[in-house]
Amino acid sequence: MPDGLRFVAVSLDCADPEELAEFYLGLLGGHRRWTSARSVGVQTPGLLLVPQRVEGYVPPTWPGSPLVHLDLTAGADLDGPVQRALELGAGLAAVQPDPRWTVLLDPAGHPFCITTLAPAPDAP
């Protein structure tokens, strides 16, 4: 591990951390690590997400804004997870660049993709 650094979490700016935490808990499962006025720690299988309150938050524009987004694999079924995300409050992005994944917007407007593709696990 170079210089002792390790990956800890992905922070998501938003106006309402509670709303975003509920969305990702419903979509990915997991549990809350903490809740404060400024942020919520959402431990999902494989990743800690931290919705954090930003005053004057403006959702990103997709495509167009340079940004990082989440890629989620759905296994063999794309339609079921996409429908669940929509029922939980996601929106379908107007631009869908490839039929192998679906681009959605979470309740704070962050784009994320659900795909059936996933890299092979690392070899031991």
Single out the residue of 76, 110, 73, 104 nearest to residue 91, CA to CA: 104
* Per-residue tokens: 30: 């997991």
Domain assignments of the chain as residue spans, ordered by start = 2-115
pTM of the model: 0.85
Q: How far apart are CA 24 and CA 13, in angstroms?
A: 14
List the CATH code of the domain at 2-115.
Answer: 3.10.180.10
Cα separation, 124 vs 121, in Å, equals 9
Name 113's Cβ contacts closer than 8 Å, sequence gap at least 6: 69, 70, 71, 72, 101, 102, 103, 104
Write down the pLDDT at residue 124.
59
Per-residue pLDDT tens, the chain, 124 aa: give them: 466 657 778 999 999 999 999 999 999 999 999 999 999 999 998 899 999 999 999 998 888 876 788 889 888 888 999 999 999 999 999 999 888 889 999 999 999 999 888 777 765 5
Write out the two tokens for 92: 């379908």
